[in-house]
Structure 1
Amino acid sequence: MDKKVIIFEVEGGTDKGPDGYRPDTMPMVDALKQRGQDAEVLFFDVTKKQAIFEYVKEHGVAYVSRINPGNLQHEEEYFEMLRELCQAGIIGMPHPDAMISYGSKDVLSKLTTTNLVPDDTFAYYTIEAFKTQFPISLAVTERVLKQNRGSTGEGIWRVNLVDPLAEGVTAVPLDAQIKCTEAKDNHVEYWQLGDFMTFCEQYITGANGMLIDMRFLPRITEGEIRLLMLRDHPVHVVHKKPAETKDAFSATLFSGAHYRYDQPEEWPELVENFLAQLPHVTSLLGNHDLPLIWTADFMLDTNEAGEDCYILGEMNCSCVGFTSELSLAQQVAEEIVMCMDERTEVVAQ
């Protein structure tokens, strides 16, 4: 019996086409079948978890997860099933622990020993750590706070002082006035630091609560550079330029940013440096197999020698879409088959 590649989706959500599937799912199924590899889409339903597990264990050779976390109410149960499938010998694309490692915002604090992330980048898992460190960080330079949850720029704040500190002050007083710009729509709010930090406690509490604190990079106005990867192969580079309005720094489409698609060869310094760092990145993030489809988002900065350099802003790997370039389905299918062939060779050895 020929084993199938199972593509997991979930019913409902704004990412579905008229046929009920993500627009980039069926092109993948068709591309796999063109290569002689059978494939099938299954919708994850927590009430049918055991039946789905048994079916995939018997009929599947690999799974590809195409579920947007925002559409998944039972993420823990879904990840638990994926882990069990991987333990049963099904090839995970990606393994759920890789999704967590590469997709969480705290990936930045884990990569400060690479040249991709500044070493003054902090992760706050407790309110106490946040209240201790953030006034010190803000005293040095303008900052960006990023919550772990949310999307499209929600809960990502650019924070700077309204008035400069007195000379010699190393921590911003709690009554200092600060200007806060949210990436969601670039709107501005003015707060006292203490009140704003109390407001931000909501991002730290609860499941997967956490805040990332990193320096603001003024050259974000030149655009965010997204590297789209198929495992260790760069596929294309998306240049996302914020709207040309005062205080704009968000590179989301929702906030009016403009997107341009380039070939990786047009960004040689970025691509070559990232690929050179990739083995180190992989080891720091748990030595999981690289996700099938994932992205790394960068911002321009200037190093001490006055040269351009690229700073990592975040990674995404849970369900990176390519609906604007469906022709990529052929490359994705090729990568899936290649991954399965590699795994077969390893098992044979």
Structure 2
Amino acid sequence: MERKVIFFEVQGGSDKGADGYRKDTMPMVDALKERGQDAEVIFFDVTKKDEIFNYVKENGIAYISRINPGNLQHEAEYFDMLRDLCAVGVIGMPHPDAMIGYGSKDVLSKLVSTNLVPDDTFAYYTIEAFKAQFPSALAITERVLKQNRGSTGEGIWRVKLVEPLAEGVTEVPLDAAIKCTEAKDNHVEYWKLGEFMSFCEQYITGQNGMLIDMRFLPRITEGEIRLFMLHDKPVHVVHKKPADSEDAFSATLFSGAQYRYDSPEKWEDLVQNFLTQLPQVTNLLGNYNLPLIWTADFMLDTDDAGNDCYILGEMNCSCVGFTSELTLAHQVAEEILSCIGDIGMISA
């Protein structure tokens, strides 16, 4: 019996076409079938978890997760099932713990030992740690706070002092006035530091709650650079330029950013540096196989010698779409078959 590649989806959500599937799923299924590899789509339903597990265990050679986390009500149960499938030899694309590791905002704090992330990047898992560190970090330079659970810029704040501190002050007073710009739509709010920090406690509490604190990079106005990756291969680069306004720093389409698609060759320095760092990145994030389809977002900075350098802002791998370039499905299918062959030889 030929074993199938199983694509997991979930019913409902704004990412579906008229046929009920994501628009980039069936092109991958069809591309695999054209190459002689059977494939099918299964909708995850927590009430049928055991039935789905047993079917995929018996019939699947690999799974491809194509579920947007925002559409998944039972993520823990879904990830548990994926772990169990990986444990019985089904090839995970990606393994659920790789999905968590590469997709969480705290990936930045885990990679400070690489040259991709500044060493003054902090992760706050408790309110106490946030209160202890953030006023000192803000005293040094303008900051960006990123919540772990947000999307499209929600809960990502650029924080700036309204008035500079007196010379020699190393911690911002809690009654200091600050200017806060949210990436969701670049709107501005003015707060006292202590009150704003109390507001931000909501991002730390609850399941998967935490905040990333990193320095603001003024050259974000020149654009964010997204590497679209298939495993270890850069496919294209998306240059996302924020709207041209004083406070704009968000590179989301919703906030008015402009997108341009380039070949990786146009960003050779960025691409080569990232590929050089990938073995260390893989090691630091748990030594899982790289996700099948994932992205890494960078911002321009200037190093001590005055040269351009690139700072990692975040990575995404839960369900990166390519609906605007569906011909990529053939390249993805080739990568899936290559991965199945490589892992199959290792386990043989």
TM-score bin, normalised by smaller chain: over 0.9
Deviation, 1:245, is 1.5
- In the TM superposition, what whole-angstrom CA distance separates every residue of 1:6-46 from its partner, at most 9, and x where no partner exists? 00000000111111100000000000001000000000000
Secondary structure in 1 matching 2:295: strand
Partner of 1:241: 241
| Superposition pairs of residues 300-311 of structure 1, within 5 angstroms | 300-311=300-311
Amino acid at match of 1:3: R
Would you say 1:138 and 2:156 are equivalent positions? no
Question: CA–CA distance in 1 between the matches of 2:104 and 2:254?
Answer: 22
Name the CA distance, whole Å, in 2 between partners of 1:156 and 1:169: 26
Task: Note the C-alpha offset of 1:266.
Answer: 0.7
For 1:159, the aligned partner's letter is V
Alignment of 1:1-349 (within 5 A): 1-348=1-348
For residues 140-159 of structure 1, the C-alpha deviation after alignment (integer angstroms, 9 at most, x for no partner) is: 00000000001000000000
Q: What is the SS of the residue equivalent to 1:30?
A: helix
- Structure 1 Cα separation of the partners of residues 239 and 124 of structure 2: 30
For residues 270 and 257 of structure 2, what CA distance do their matches in structure 1 show? 21
Alpha-carbon distance in structure 1 between the residues aligned to 2:62 and 2:9: 14
Please give the root-mean-square deviation of Cα atoms over the aligned residues, in Å: 0.4
1:115-165 deviation per Cα after TM superposition (whole angstroms, max 9, x unaligned): 000000000000000000000000000000000001000000000000000
Q: Secondary structure at the match of 1:288?
A: coil
Deviations along 1:169-207, one digit per CA (max 9) or x if unpaired, are 000000000000000000000000000000000000000
Q: Secondary structure at the match of 1:178?
A: strand
Q: Secondary structure at the match of 1:213?
A: strand
Give distance in 2, aligned partners of 1:328 and 1:308.
Answer: 31
Using structure 2 for the length normalisation, give the TM-score: 1.00
- Aligned pair count reads 348
Unaligned runs of 5+ in 1: none
Unpaired stretches in structure 2, ≥5 consecutive residues: none
Q: Which runs of 4+ in 1 moved over 6 A?
A: none
1:246 Cα offset (Å):
1.9
Q: Secondary structure at the match of 2:304?
A: coil
Shift of 1:347: 1.6
Q: Within 1, Cα distance between the matches of 2:218 and 2:343? A: 44
Matched letter for residue 143 of structure 2: R
The one-character-per-residue Cα deviations of 1:46-104 (angstroms, maximum 9, x if unpaired) are 00000000000011100000000010000000000000000010000000000011000
Letter in 1 for 2:65: S
Letter in 1 for 2:308: D
Tell me how far apart the structure 1 counterparts of residues 192 and 150 of structure 2 sit (CA, whole Å): 24
- Distance apart, 1:344 and its partner CA: 1.3
Matched to 1:214, the amino acid is M
Deviations 1:243-292 (A, max 9, x none): 11120000000000000000001100000000000000110000000000
* Residues in 2 aligned to 1:130 and 1:344: alpha-carbon distance in whole angstroms: 46
Q: Output the CA distance in 2 between the equivalents of 1:217 and 1:150.
A: 20
**Percent identity of the aligned residues?**
80
Tell me the TM-score normalised to structure 1 length: 0.99
Q: Which amino acid aligns with 1:118?
A: P
CA distance in structure 2 between the aligned counterparts of 1:316 and 1:137, rounded to whole angstroms: 26
Equivalents in 1 of 2:259, 2:173: separation in Å? 40
Name the CA distance, whole Å, in 2 between partners of 1:343 and 1:146: 36
Q: Aligned to 1:315, what secondary structure does the other structure show?
A: strand
1:15 partner letter: D
Tell me the amino acid that sits aligned with residue 346 of structure 1. Answer: I
Counterpart residue identity of residue 8, structure 1: F
CA–CA separation in structure 1 for the residues paired with 2:241 and 2:96: 32
Q: Whole-Å Cα distance in 2 between the matches of residues 144 and 18 of structure 1?
A: 39
Residues in 2 aligned to 1:249 and 1:108: alpha-carbon distance in whole angstroms? 19
SS at match of 2:7: strand
